[in-house]
Every structure is written in C-alpha cells, then in structure tokens.
C-alpha cells in the first residue's frame, strides 16, 4: 500500500467513524470508548490462522490486539468466552442492502417505442448506462435486512443498485444500525457492469448482443470524450464513466458463457473484471480459467424435483437434474482450479438457507478454510475493504462473530455479531440457557420435565412415559421464569412463576382453584439427543449410497449427448462408396475417400488404407461434403434481433454464440457441418453474423470459423417496415419500401463521410455502427439480405452499385426468379427456401421453381433453413430443386454444400471433396437427395462429432443417468428434503422475425 | 437463328394461353378410364405389381393383375402407367386448407372464431375453393383434406373436403364430421419475454378439465331433451352422442391423452387424439380403448430435450407397429404439399412403407368414417387416386402425371407453375432481344 493511500485511508477512517462528532449534542456527549476484552476463546484471526485460548481486545470500534497471552488493558469490560469461537465477521461482496427499490416505469414493449433515455439532465443517451449512479449517495440503513444479514454472520457488504448495464459504483458499508455516517466505509468501491438493462424502458438494447455493443461503444465514447468530446458537450454520464475506470470493475453474469463474453470485452478495452457468477461455472471451468481469476458466486443450489410421476418426470431435463447433483460442488471445483472465490447470499430466495447451502458445498468437497476464506478475506479484497475487515488484526474494525463452535456445523449457533465494536445479539449466550432435565416439584408431586431449545427459545414438556407427555408453556428471561401446564389426564393445571438460582429453579404459583403454592425444579442433567443422532446416521448412510451409485459427469456441452473426453481428428478410409465430389470429377461410383489431420487427403478409386486408418465399408452408401446452412438461428443466446433501431450494424451474433444448444447436435445428425448464424430481419440494417462449424462441445470461440470473412444481415420488406407488428409500431422510420431505400442511402452516405473524416487525420469518435458500414463500402464486410419482392431487391442492388460495392447474397429471395438476370449481372447469390410461401403477403408470388430458375440464369443458389427443424434435413430440401424445375441432382446437391460455401466465401477450404479441403464430410445411408437417406456419420475437421452407432449408446446412457438421478431425487424426498415441482426452461427456437418479446405464435415470421 | 425465331413466334402465340391459363375444376367423368402396368399401393397395406385399374362414373370397378374388360377399346380412356405408381388420393388431416390464404394477413384468416366454446361453428362455410393454395397441394398427391376450426376450448366442427370444386357445396365429402377440442395444458409456459418463467405445472389444469367434462355432460343431457328454445351450441353437440360426430381432442402428453380418453368414455363419445407426440408411450392404453391418433408431423423437433433426437421421426412407426390406428398429419395450410414427405420421413425411421401410406389414406378415411367410399383402391370406392412417376413419398420421385377426385380429372397445374412459366417467358424474351 502506498503512503498516500494509507494517508487517505487514515483520513477517511477518521471522518467516517466519527462523522457524528460534527453533529450537535443534546445533553452530555457519549464519550465511552467501548473497550472490551474477550478472553479464553478460540479465535480465527484469519481463515487459516486459528488460536486456541486467546484474547481479543477492542476499543472504539477497532481491534487493539488479538492472540494468546494478550494483556487485558485496564478499563476493559472482560467477557469470558470459554468454549466459544470468534471469527472475523463475513463480508458480502454482492448486495443491494440499503439501496432504494428500482421500479420499472410504464412503457417499453407494451407501449409506444422509446428511442431515447427518459432520464432528465445532462446525461448520456442510454438509460441503462448510469455510471453516475453512486450507491453511497442513496445508502440508508435498513434495520430489518441488516439484522437478517448479521444473523448469518455478515458484518460488512458492498452494496450497489442492481439495475442497469453500467450500474454505477458500489459502496462498502458495515451492517450496524447506528447511523449512515458511521456505517458507510467507502464510496466508489467498484464500478458494476452487467448485460441487463434492468428497469430502463428505452428500447435499445433489447438483446444480449445489443448490450455488448452498447458497452463497447461506451468504452469508445469515454475515450473520445476525454480527449475531444468534452470540448463539444458536457455529458455527465461519460464523465462519470471515465472517473470510474480506475476502480475495480465488477461484471455481473447470468451464466457461464456470459463470463466469457464479458472477458472478451475486457480484453478489448484492457479491463480485468471481477466476475459475479451464477453458480454453473464448473460446466465451462477451463475456458473461464483462461479469462478470469476472481469470482463471486452464489450458493443457490437447486432443489430436487418431485419426480414420482413418470410421465411428468419427462419434463425434467437431464442437464437440470445433473446440475442439482453437481451445483454444490461448484465452489470446491473452482477452488481446485485455482480461482479466488467469494460466496454471496445473493440469489437465495430465503437468506436463512445460506448456512445449509454452505454445508452442502462443504459436503461436496469445499474445505472449511476455503469456505472461511471465501466469506472473509477474499470478498474483503475484492471490494477493497481488506484494510478494515476480513481478518482480526490490530487496527482493523471490530467486526467479528462469537459462535458456539465450528461455524460450519449444523448445530453451531452464532451468539453475537459485533459490528464496529457494537454488540448485536443473535441468540442468547449459553450461560443463559435452561436446557436440561428437571424434577419439577409441586407439593409432593414430582414431574419429570425436559427443556430443550427450539428456534432459539426454550420448549418444555412433562414426561410420563415413553409415549405420554404434556406440553409446558415456558418463558425465560434473565433469571425469571414462567411456566403453565395441565398434566396429562388431569383437568386442572398450574401457572407458575419463579427465578433461577444456579441450575435450579424455585418460586410461587397458582393452581386452577386460584390457591397460591410453592414450587421448585431441580436440574438432573442433559437431554439425550436421539433425534440428532438419527439424522447423522441417516446422512452417513446417504453418503455411502451416493458413492455407490456414482455422480453425474460434467460433459461438453453440459447437455445430453455431450462428451467427456475431447474427440480428436481421425484418419478414416471409406471404401467403395458413391462419392459426390462437387468437383469436376462429379459423382464417382465405387470410390474411396481418405481423411487425415482434419483434411481430405485423397478421393478416388482403388486407394489404399493409410497407416492407422479406421476403415469404413461404404458399399451402398454415399459420401458427400457436409451440409452448410447459409441462414440459421440456432446456437444464439438471448435474442436474435436488435430491431430497436433502423440500423444495428454495431451488434454481432458472433458475440452471442451459444455452444450449449442441443440443436447443434441434432443438426449434425442431419449432416450439417457449418452454419451462418444470422441476425434477424427486424430492421433494414441488422447485425453482424457469426459463422460457425458445428464443433459440438467446444466453446463459442472455438466454434467460430477462424479467418472467415465478416458478414452482416440486411432486411427488406414487411418485417423492416413493421407491417405485422401491431398498431403501436407505426412510428419508427421506415414504414414503407420507399423509406427503406432512404435508410440505406442515408447510412452509406454517413459511412462515406465517416471514412473521409478518418482519412483526414482529424480527431473522430470511433463509431462501431459506421465502422461496420465502412467495411461494407470497402468490400471488407458482406451483406446477406433478407428479401422477397423484386422491387426492393432491385433497389438494394442499385444502391450498392451507386456506393461502389455489391450485395453478396439475397437470402429468402422468394422473387429472385423474377430478377435472376439482374442478380446475375450484379453478381449476387440467392439463398432461398426450397418451397415456402403463403405465410405473408409479400410471399404470395413465391414459387418452388425459384431456385431452379435462378440457377439457370447463372445465379449461385443455395437452399437454407432459417429453422432449427428444417436444418436437420436440408438434403431433402436440395432434392426439391430437382423436383421443381429439373436441376440436375449433382447441381442440386451443391445448393446445400458448395454453393452456400461460395456465398460465405468458405469454398477455398470447404464445400467439396477436394484433397486439402477441410474434412467436413458425411456418410449417408442412401442417396442423399432421398427422403430415406440418414446421415450415419458426420465429421467436422476430421472429428467424428456424430455417429449413429454412438448415438444409440448415448441414448441408452442418458436413460440410465436419468433413472439414477430420479432414484436419488426420490430418496431425497423420502428423506424429507426440500423439493420443487418439475419444470424446465422454454426451448427457444428463433427464426429471423423473432423478437425477444414475442410470444410464440402459429404464424411463420420469416 | 431462324429456327429460334420460329420458336419464339410459336411461344409468343401460345404465351397468352400459358400465362392466363385458368385452373378449372374437373368435369364429371364421362369416359371409363383404364390404367395398366402400374405398381398399385392399395392403401390397406397391400401392393399389387403390374396392376390395372378400371373406373367409371367416378367409381372404381376393378383392380388387379387381370381385369375383365367389357368396354370397347374406343370407349376407354387407356393410360399406360408401366413403371409408375398409383395411389389412393392422400388425405390431409387437421388442416386449415381453404380457411386461410396468407397467414399474416388477418383478412384471409378464417380458422379461429372468438369465444371458448364454439361447437356450432362450421369450417366448411369458410372453405375457399378458389384458394391458390389448394392446387399446389394436390399437385403432390394430396386430394382431400379435413379442415378444422382452431382455438382454445371447443373450436368448432370440421369437414372432409375435396381439394377441387366450384364451391364448398360440391367440394364437401362429409360435412361437420368432427367437433374439435383443445385439451387444457398440464404444463404451461410462465413469465413473459423479459423474465421467462420456463415451463411449469398448470395449477388450474384440474379445474379446466372439470369444466370441459361438465360441458360435455350438459350437452349429453340436452341431447335427450327437446327444449322449445334451441341452444345452438348444444344442438351442434348432439351428433357426438348419436355417434354421427367424433370428438377430436388436441393434446400431446401421455397423461393428458389418457385424461381426454377417459373423459370421452365417461360421457360416452367417440374420441380421436390429435397431436399425440407422446402417444407412443401408451399404445396399450390407446388400443384397449380403440382410440386413433392423428399425429403431428414427423418432421418436428423432439418435445423433450432428453428425448431421442429422432423420436418424432419414429413415433408414427411405433404407433402403427403397436396396432394403433394412426394418421400422419401435416397440420396448417400450404405446408400440406409436403405431407407425402412427412410420411416418407417416418418410413426412413422405421415405419413400414405401406403402413405409412395407410396413415395418409385408409386410416384417415376410417377415422372420419368414410372408409366405405374412400381411402383405398378397391372396387366400389370412389375413383380418387393419382399416378406418380415414382415413389410418391420421396421428393426425389414424387411427380404426378394424372389425378382424379371422384373420377373427375384434376388439373395438376398450379400457381407455382404459372409463375414459373411467366418468368421463364421473360428470360425467353430477353434471349431474343
């Protein structure tokens, strides 16, 4: 720590802790020093430093000394804590304690569009970016919540308003109830970011990729503002943004992939984020390890499903059932992988469940010291509060808890939670306890009485024999007792009051007749805890069974059909098959194919097996290059459209590739090897594409095709003019095809001017949207344009020609057959549906002969899916080019392989069986254009990601694993565990018209 | 060059005819038709190689290897179908054909009435025989369709229609033969777009089921009564209890199918399950209650993430193998030109081919109670059939050369072909310019 920070710290401590000194006094001021000595305790000075029989001395809210043989200063109140344990109190790094409630105002999707921020004042344009929001300005003590937190052992927290994409800064506060001036330790402790726009009613962003683009642009805007922008305008949001950049940056994520996405942004702008995780990090632990070090993780482990009904149980998904079993091991797995973790109560529906969850994590392998570390010094460091809290060291705050013993044991109780030298009682110290067996005497009558503690309060009964007892209502407070009861079998009872003397009690009371009497109770000893013993035994036996029945494995992805060991590229020798080369050789009968090192090594007749090759008899079968889907919306996280503005060129599907989509595997089973993941069609200028190979199980980054050209989605017609969006959406420009043209002319004009400005050497604001458009102008990014009507297709080609580039692909292009000649001379390809039509007015003139007519006019034609189901059988769609219009089978096959490869500029290494190209090949059971053909094996880069034989085995494994987990859940139920009704996530299937807010309808939105 | 000019002139002369060709409903059969040399897929599971078929007055007279021909050669319309295949007209069930022209244009949507209980609403009234969709569908072999009102609760009555005709009166094959009920969902989607709640148990399911059963019981009581003031809804329900109508219940889960069947049995109506994704799990149950299934399209995604990836492909085959009467349905409207290929998909994944054909011919006819007259190539039945170059279930070979509905020759031209010809003409023009 530098001297300056020390100085600042010293000054801050002075001001914050004694803030109340500046206040006027009413009467004599309180000048007590709060000097205490806690003796004979077991003290955890830090998570890994335990001192037996030690003393802790505090004064004025701070620790004076701690250790064995510490001298007790005069004037200290001495508290003997023999048999008790003192821990540093816990630190909550992720909390909205004391923050105002954030309520969503009217507006948003239900109402009229809201293009700009509703926040009044000299702030930025987007309502979800609010770096100027300081938690310290809004912090107020909330005694109900602070008490709840103290009960769990917490003494300090970083609080922030959990709303928005830039959520502003957090403040470190202690969880005392005195006065904000004392509790507030640190303002601007960290800047908090997320991908969620929260209560913002502004339309943008409506998707995850929109959030990502907004964050990136804000970083750029901050840089621009610092040097140039501030000369032109005052923008309090950007000023605040720049100010918070030197703080720790906490990024809040909702799932494992969002961590990777956040880290990617951080990498671009030189930020290393502290990550708030979601608890599923173990599912992508290696990828996360390579980009993050410090994580705040929740302990909201899911409950078991109630799966008694076998049909209903089918709704439960294997991944969720496995997560139920594995989630508690997340903390220990992260520790083992070398992460620094802090645990948070955030995410728990009932905070009181926190310790139970901690014990689950410990049962699942988390060491107690690691747990304590994750509750104390780690979060303290993360929020920059380790000079105050996290350990018990002289000079630090007197923030500690007194517990009955090991804090991680179920029976352990927290007695007191001290915050800055102030005692808060959680439960009575056992000196006060009256638990035990007593002989209760009234006259000559002696009753056996047992007093136990339930929920922190005494509970008593009279025991007559094994099965008969009577309840005694008992109250106890500081030596004074009241009892009332009616003994079993009698009508009249007693009301007694008395005092405690040593362990025995005595006093006076009244019987039902109103006569006064004397009574006494003599302590006989402890109550045997049979109940607890039972439970411990039960737990042990459960554990034994668990290890016998095994635990779920982490597969990649964490879905059914995932793998546990990364598959490798094979050397394969397929013999005697019908081979569709897509090259000059055409279709070869009885030919061989060899792949090795991820590439096609040879194709021809009479080849011989290379060393170590797996030989596959291809007799009667067909080998082709893999299917490429030019238009797909699978494997995308949280929104396929950022359709809130006429142009969203700055957003990119590549940022939101979702490797954990079961449709990837399903499509491999249909022979698909690569897909262009396109933005939707909600606006004229959509977003950038992600082009992936279906490398099942690999991370999003690994799925992307390296070096592929950049593409962007454009769209024309009904969707972009919002024809079918209802009456509220009639204000965004454009609402007609006339307006669509002007949107393009406008944006390309601005992009030209932008390019000129950049070239001039003058300072400029880097604009991600215009960057993408400039790339188009310079033929470094290529358009795939959703299109139907010939008029608008003509228009876009004209606009492109005027701006000196060409449109790469018209996708859908159902009226391409009308302008195929113009398309051909422009040099644009057509990627169409084989036979879709009649789903909206602009496709009334569609015909399945479209593909063949365009093909005959020399247009490069592809058939695409735009649909997760259809993509499983694009081979059949290709056959329709033969059926409707008589394209040759060889050419038709290219519609779903070589031609989409050409349209995506991938044909130099994909799309045909040519030695040297990628080994993306499919072995078909039958003629690939036939409805009866099945993809038997699919290789991508020589890796066999799908094999029908293996699939069968995996299906059997899935059923076995489900059965095992169901059995375990039934056991959990019979053991009295907390259960929940079966549920599952809604499987999202996007098509290009899907807006994130739309309910699924029966109409097609393509 | 000269030749080309001649061709162009010839083209020019016939162009108007091509472009403005109208698709005219088939005329009543006047001449006996004899088809020879075909592979006949009878529709009941049988195949006859090198078969001949003779039909006149719209009725099939003979089917077999060797027919007894009494007509003179000149009075016969002889068709040599050697190497070709012949099928009974495919029947599309659970469709909106003729009830919607363009999905997204509200003015053309006529398949969903307002209100929760609409048994009195009749689909055939809205059937648009001039819909451009119908000829595109029959071009691939689908010659008849059950058209159904859709919606929650009881959506109305379906009819079986020919996909050809001047108006609904002459297109109707059997009117108002089914009442359609959407069974409540036992699991439902919760939350909204910003905070999706996932799929959860529907707490109101029990109540909703109870309401339906009460409604059915009321209708049953009404059917025995003869009140002065007629209730249109209850009048429409009567047919369920004299068995002139069937109750089509749309539901997919094993438990909801069971619940629907048990309810139908308690109130005493004949029930057909529509949807039936999970029906394969309870085939014994379905058989013991003799309940047929109109199955969702095989080319669907599995409804459970853990289900076999090709479960929907296999379901029809599993049902047929277990002995459940199954019809394969495409649903929706224009998509029905792919019904043959949906069926082919089921064959690819294990369904016996002739059983698959049965699932779009005789089984639908049986379910709708018209198997006496339709659904198979048997003497005495309607001459509703088509000739195909090859296997009609495979898009590779599905190419119809002739088709008849009730002996009336069907024009196999359609909107798609007309558009294609128009623009092929454009490119011919350009070539000569």
Instruction: Please report how the helices B205-224 and B232-241 are oriented relative to each other, as an axis angle in degrees rounded to 10.
Output: 90
Owner of token pair 């009558």? A445
Same domain for A633 and A601?
Answer: no
Within this chain, do residues A660 and A678 fall inside the same structural domain, yes or no?
yes
The verdict on residue A498 lying in a domain is yes
pLDDT above 70 for A467: yes
Please answer whether residues B175 and B370 qualify as being in contact, where contact means their C-beta atoms are separated by less than 8 angstroms. Answer: no
Domain assignment present for residue A47? The answer is no
Q: How are beta strands A572-580 and A622-625 bridged, if at all?
A: parallel
Of the partner residues B309, B348, B396, the one whose CB lies closest to the CB of residue A666? B309
Instruction: With CA atoms as reference, report the closest residue to B89 among B415, B374, B408.
Output: B374
Q: Which residue of B98, B103, B279 is the best one to mutate when testing the A interface, meaning the one whose CB has the most A CBs within 10 A? A: B103
Integer Cα distance of A146 and A95 in angstroms? 11
User: Which residue spans within A106-244 are E strands per DSSP?
Assistant: 154-159, 166-174, 184-194
Beta strands in A705-834 (DSSP E): 710-715, 781-787, 809-812, 829-832
A778 in any annotated domain: yes
CA A874 to chain centroid, in Å, comes to 33
DSSP letter assigned to residue A563: B
Q: What is the ipTM of this complex?
A: 0.95
User: Of A425, A456, A471, which residue constitutes the final position of a domain?
Assistant: A425
CA A464 to CA A461: how far, in whole Å?
A: 10
Which chain A residues have a beta carbon less than 8 Å from that of B257? none
Task: Pick the residue from chain A with its C-alpha nearest to B342.
Answer: A931
pLDDT tens digits for A152-191? 999 999 999 999 999 999 999 999 999 999 999 999 999 9
- One DSSP character per residue, A436-492 reads EEEEEEETTEEEEEEEEEETTEEEEEEE-SSS-EEEEEEEEETTEEEEEE--TT-S-
Q: What is the CATH number of the domain that holds A947?
A: 2.30.40.10
User: What DSSP element (H or E) covers A880?
Assistant: helix A874-883
Per the DSSP assignment, residues forming a β-bridge with A743 are none
Beta bridge partners of A451: A436, A460
Would the CB atoms of B104 and A934 count as touching at under 8 Å? no
| A781-787 β-sheet, strand order | A685-688, A710-715, A781-787, A809-812, A829-832, A861-863
Please indicate, yes or no, if residue A365 is contained in any of the structural domains: yes
Kindly state whether residues A668 and A771 are assigned to the same domain: yes
CB-CB neighbors (< 8 A) of A837 in chain B: 334, 416
Single out the residue of A1002, A996, A1006, A714 nearest to residue A866, CA to CA.
Answer: A1006
The domain that contains A519 carries what CATH number?
2.40.128.120
Tell me the three state secondary structure of residue A577: strand
Q: A917 and A890, same structural domain?
A: no
CA dihedral B283→B286→B291→B292, nearest 10 degrees, is -10
Instruction: Give how many domains chain A has, as a whole number.
Output: 4
* Co-location of A621 and A633 in the same domain: no
DSSP code, position B289: T
The answer to whether B253 contacts A669, with C-beta atoms less than 8 Å apart, is: no
* Cross-strand bridge partners of residue A49: A46
Residues A830 and A873 in one domain: yes
What is the extent of the structural domain holding A475? 434-531
Summarised one tens digit per residue, pLDDT across range A945-995 is 999 999 999 999 999 999 999 999 999 999 999 899 998 887 767 777 665
Residue A643 to residue A254: CA distance in whole angstroms: 23
Q: What is the pTM of this model?
A: 0.92
Asked whether B304 and A315 are in contact (CB, 8 A), the reply is yes
Q: What radius of gyration, in Å, describes the C-alpha atoms of chain A? A: 35
Residues 328 through 347 of chain B touching chain A, CB cutoff 8 Å: 332-334, 337-338, 341, 344-345, 347
Residues of A in contact with B333 (CB under 8 A): 838
Give yes or no for B433 touching A (CB within 8 A).
no
Which domains are assigned to chain B? 22-87 (2.30.40.10), 90-373 (3.20.20.140)
Same domain, yes or no: A309 and A324:
yes
- If you ran DSSP here, which 8-state letter would residue B287 be given? H
Point out the least confidently predicted range of A187-201, A502-516, B351-365. Answer: A502-516
Both structure tokens of B274: 């529509």
Residue A964 falls inside a structural domain: no
Q: Do you know the residue count of chain B?
A: 433
User: Taking CB atoms and an 8 Å limit, are B194 and A997 in contact across chains?
Assistant: yes
Partner-chain contact B423 A853, CB within 8 Å: yes
For A309, how many CA atoms within 13 A lie in the half-sphere containing its CB? 11
- Cα A273 to its chain centre, rounded Å, is 15
H helices within A96-142, ranges in order? 135-138
Of B132, B201, B308, the CB nearest to A955: B308
**In chain B, which residues have their Cβ closer than 8 Å to the Cβ of A873?**
299, 345
Contact A853, A831 (CB under 8 A): no
- Quick one: A277 and A387 in the same domain? yes
Q: Quick one: A311 and A448 in the same domain?
A: no
* Rounded CA separation A809/A829 (Å): 5
CATH number for the domain spanning A859: value is 3.20.20.140
Angle formed at CA A522 by CA A520 and CA A524, multiple of 5 degrees: 160
Angle at which helices A737-760 and A790-802 cross, to 10° = 20
Query: Hey, which residues 271-310 in chain B have their CB within 8 Å of chain A?
Result: 278, 281, 299-302, 304-310
Q: Which residue has the tokens 């639908």?
A: B364
Q: Return per-residue pLDDT of chain B as tens, 433 residues.
A: 455 555 555 555 555 455 556 899 999 999 999 999 999 999 999 999 999 999 999 999 999 999 999 989 899 999 999 999 999 999 999 999 999 999 999 999 999 999 999 999 999 999 999 999 999 999 999 999 999 999 999 999 999 999 999 999 999 999 999 999 999 999 988 765 545 668 889 999 999 999 999 999 999 999 999 889 999 999 999 999 999 999 999 999 999 999 999 999 999 999 999 999 999 999 999 999 999 999 999 999 998 878 899 999 999 999 999 999 999 999 999 999 999 999 999 999 999 999 999 999 999 999 999 999 999 999 999 999 999 999 999 999 999 999 999 999 999 999 999 999 999 999 999 998 8
User: Does A898 share its domain with A927?
Assistant: no
Both A816 and A842 in one domain: the answer is: yes
Could you tell me if B254 lies within 8 Å of chain A, comparing CB atoms?
A: yes
Rounded CA-CA distance A189/A961 in Å is 46
Please indicate, yes or no, whether residues A797 and A824 belong to a single structural domain of this protein.
yes
3-state secondary structure of A710: strand
CA distance A690 to A712: 9
Interface contact flag, B196 A986, Cβ < 8 Å = yes
CA distance A883 to chain B (A): 6
Interface touch B396/A930, C-beta < 8 Å: yes
Query: Which of these ranges, A615-624, A763-772, B221-230, has the smallest mean pLDDT?
Result: B221-230
Nearest to B174 by CA among B189, B186, B162, B187: B162
């Amino acid at each position: 720590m530098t001297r300056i920070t020390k100085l600042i710290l010293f000054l801050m401590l002075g001001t914050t802790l004694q803030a109340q000194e500046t206040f006027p006094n009413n009467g004599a001021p309180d000048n007590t020093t709060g000097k205490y000595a806690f003796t004979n305790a077991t003290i955890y000075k830090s998570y890994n430093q335990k001192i037996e029989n030690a003393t802790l001395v505090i004064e004025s809210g701070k620790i004076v000394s701690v250790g064995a043989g510490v001298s007790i200063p005069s004037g200290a109140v001495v508290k003997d804590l023999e048999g008790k344990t003192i821990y540093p109190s816990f630190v909550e790094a992720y909390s909205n304690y004391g923050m105002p409630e954030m309520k969503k105002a009217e507006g948003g999707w239900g109402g009229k569009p809201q293009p700009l921020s509703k926040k009044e004042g000299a702030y930025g344009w987007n309502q979800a970016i609010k770096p100027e929001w300081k938690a310290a300005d809004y912090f107020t003590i909330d005694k109900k919540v602070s008490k709840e937190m103290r009960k769990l052992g917490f003494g300090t927290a970083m609080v922030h308003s959990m709303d928005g994409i830039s959520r502003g800064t957090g403040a470190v506060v202690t969880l005392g109830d005195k006065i904000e001036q004392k509790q507030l330790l640190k303002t601007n402790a960290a800047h908090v970011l997320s991908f969620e726009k929260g209560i913002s009613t502004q339309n943008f962003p409506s998707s995850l990729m929109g959030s990502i683009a907004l964050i990136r642009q804000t970083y750029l805007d901050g840089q621009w503002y610092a040097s140039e922008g501030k000369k032109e305008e005052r923008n309090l949001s950007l000023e605040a943004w720049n100010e918070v950049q030197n703080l720790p940056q906490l990024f809040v994520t909702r799932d494992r992939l969002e961590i990777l996405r956040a880290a990617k942004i951080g990498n671009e702008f030189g930020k290393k984020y502290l990550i708030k995780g979601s608890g599923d990090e173990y599912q992508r632990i290696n990828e996360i390890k390579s980009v993050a070090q410090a994580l705040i993780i929740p302990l909201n482990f899911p409950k078991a499903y109630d799966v008694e009904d076998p049909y209903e149980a089918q709704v439960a998904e294997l991944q969720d059932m496995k997560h139920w079993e594995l989630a508690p091991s997340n903390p220990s797995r992260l520790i083992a992988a070398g992460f620094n973790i802090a645990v948070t109560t955030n995410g728990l529906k009932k905070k009181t469940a926190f310790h139970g969850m901690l014990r689950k994590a410990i049962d699942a392998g988390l060491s107690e010291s690691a747990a304590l570390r994750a509750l104390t010094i780690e979060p303290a460091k993360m929020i920059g509060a380790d000079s105050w809290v996290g350990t018990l060291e002289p000079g630090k705050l007197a923030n500690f808890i007194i517990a009955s013993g090991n804090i991680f044991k179920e029976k352990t109780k927290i007695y007191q939670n001290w915050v800055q030298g102030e005692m808060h009682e959680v439960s009575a110290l056992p000196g006060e306890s009256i638990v035990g067996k007593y002989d209760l005497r009234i006259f000559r009558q002696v009753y056996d009485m047992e007093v136990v503690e339930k929920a922190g309060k005494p509970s008593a009964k009279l025991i007559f024999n094994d099965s008969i007892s009577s309840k005694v209502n008992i109250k106890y407070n500081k030596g004074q007792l009241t009892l009332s009861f009616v003994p079993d079998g009698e009508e009249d009872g007693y009301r007694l009051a008395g005092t405690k003397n040593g362990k025995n009690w005595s006093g006076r009371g009244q019987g039902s007749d109103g006569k006064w009497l004397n009574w006494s109770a003599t302590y006989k000893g402890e109550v045997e805890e049979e109940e607890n013993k039972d439970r411990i035994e039960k737990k042990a036996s459960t554990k034994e069974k668990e290890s016998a029945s095994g635990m779920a494995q982490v597969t990649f992805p964490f879905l059914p059909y995932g793998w546990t060991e990364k598959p490798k590229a094979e050397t394969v020798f397929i013999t005697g098959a019908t081979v569709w080369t897509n090259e000059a050789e055409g279709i070869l009968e009885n030919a061989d194919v060899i792949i090795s090192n991820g590439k096609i090594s040879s194709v021809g007749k009479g080849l011989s097996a290379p060393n170590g090759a797996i030989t596959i008899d291809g007799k009667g079968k067909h080998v082709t290059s893999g299917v490429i889907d030019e238009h797909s919306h699978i494997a995308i996280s949280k929104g396929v459209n950022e359709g809130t503005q006429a142009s969203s060129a700055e957003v990119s599907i590549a940022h939101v590739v979702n490797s954990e989509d079961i449709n990837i595997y399903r499509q491999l089973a249909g022979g698909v090897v690569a897909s262009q993941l396109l933005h939707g069609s909600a606006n004229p200028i959509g977003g950038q594409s992600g082009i992936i190979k279906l490398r099942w199980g690999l991370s999003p980054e690994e799925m992307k095709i390296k070096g592929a050209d950049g593409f962007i989605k454009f769209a024309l017609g009904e969707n972009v003019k919002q024809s079918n969006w209802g009456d509220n959406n009639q204000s965004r420009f454009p609402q007609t095809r006339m307006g669509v043209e002007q949107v393009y002319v406008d944006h390309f004009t601005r992009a030209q001017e932008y390019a000129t400005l950049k070239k001039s050497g003058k300072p400029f604001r880097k604009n991600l949207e215009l960057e993408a458009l400039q790339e188009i102008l310079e033929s470094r990014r290529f358009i795939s344009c959703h299109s139907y009507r010939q008029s608008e297709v003509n228009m876009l080609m004209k606009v492109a020609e005027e701006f000196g580039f060409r449109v790469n692909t018209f996708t859908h292009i159902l009226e391409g057959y009308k302008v195929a000649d113009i398309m051909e001379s422009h040099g644009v390809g057509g990627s169409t549906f084989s036979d879709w039509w009649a789903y909206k007015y602009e496709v009334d003139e569609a015909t399945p002969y479209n593909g063949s007519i365009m093909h005959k006019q020399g247009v490069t034609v592809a058939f695409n899916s735009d649909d997760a189901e259809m993509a499983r059988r694009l081979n059949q769609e290709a056959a329709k080019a033969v059926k409707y219009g008589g394209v040759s089978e060889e050419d038709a096959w290219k519609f779903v392989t070589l031609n989409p490869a050409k349209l995506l500029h991938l044909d130099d290494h994909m799309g045909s069986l040519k030695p040297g190209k990628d080994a993306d090949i499919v072995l078909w059971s039958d003629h690939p254009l036939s409805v009866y053909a099945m993809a038997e094996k699919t290789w991508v880069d020589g890796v066999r990601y799908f094999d029908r034989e293996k699939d069968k085995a995996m299906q059997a494994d899935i059923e076995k694993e489900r059965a095992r987990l169901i059995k375990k859940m039934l056991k959990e139920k019979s053991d009295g565990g907390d259960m929940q009704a079966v549920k599952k996530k809604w499987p999202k299937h996007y098509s290009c018209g899907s807006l994130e807010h739309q309910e699924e309808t029966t109409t097609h939105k393509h | 060059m000269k030749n080309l000019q001649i061709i162009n002139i010839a083209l020019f002369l016939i162009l108007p005819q091509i472009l403005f060709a109208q698709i005219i409903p088939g005329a009543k059969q006047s001449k006996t038709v004899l088809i020879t040399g075909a592979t006949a897929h009878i529709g009941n599971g049988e195949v006859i190689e090198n078969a001949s078929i003779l039909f006149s007055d719209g009725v099939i007279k003979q089917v077999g290897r060797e027919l007894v021909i009494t007509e003179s050669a000149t009075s016969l319309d002889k068709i040599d179908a050697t190497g070709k295949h012949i099928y009974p007209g495919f029947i599309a069930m659970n469709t909106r054909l003729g009830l919607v022209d363009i999905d997204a244009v509200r003015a053309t949507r006529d398949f969903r009435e307002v209100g929760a209980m609409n048994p009195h609403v009749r689909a055939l009234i809205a059937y648009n025989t001039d819909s451009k969709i119908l000829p595109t569908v029959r071009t691939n072999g689908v010659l008849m369709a059950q058209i159904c009102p859709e919606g929650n609760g009881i959506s109305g009555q379906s009819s079986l229609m020919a996909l050809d005709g001047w108006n609904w009166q002459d297109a109707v094959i059997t009117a108002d033969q089914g009442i359609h009920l959407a069974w409540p969902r036992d699991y439902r989607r919760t939350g909204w777009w910003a905070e999706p709640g996932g799929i959860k148990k529907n707490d109101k399911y029990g109540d909703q089921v109870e309401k339906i059963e009460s409604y059915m019981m009321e209708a049953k009581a009404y059917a025995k009564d003869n009140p002065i003031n007629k209730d249109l809804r209850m009048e429409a329900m009567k047919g369920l209890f004299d068995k002139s109508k069937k109750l089509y219940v749309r539901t997919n889960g094993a438990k909801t199918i069971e619940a629907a069947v048990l309810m139908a049995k308690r109130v005493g109506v004949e029930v057909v399950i529509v949807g039936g994704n999970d029906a394969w799990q309870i085939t014994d149950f379905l058989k013991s209650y003799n309940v047929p299934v109109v199955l969702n399209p095989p080319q669907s995604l599995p409804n459970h993430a853990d289900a076999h990836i090709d479960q929907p492909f296999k379901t029809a085959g599993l049902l047929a193998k277990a002995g459940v009467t199954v019809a394969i349905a495409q649903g929706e409207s224009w998509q029905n030109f792919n019904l043959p290929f949906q069926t082919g998909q089921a064959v690819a994944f294990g369904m016996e081919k002739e059983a698959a054909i049965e699932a779009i011919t005789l089984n639908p006819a049986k379910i709708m109670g018209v198997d006496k007259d339709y659904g198979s190539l048997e003497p005495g039945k309607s001459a509703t059939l088509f000739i195909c170059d090859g296997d009609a279930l495979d898009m590779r070979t599905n190419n119809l050369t002739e088709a008849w509905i009730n002996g009336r020759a069907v024009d196999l031209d359609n909107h798609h072909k007309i558009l294609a010809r128009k623009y092929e003409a454009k490119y011919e023009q350009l070539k000569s310019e």
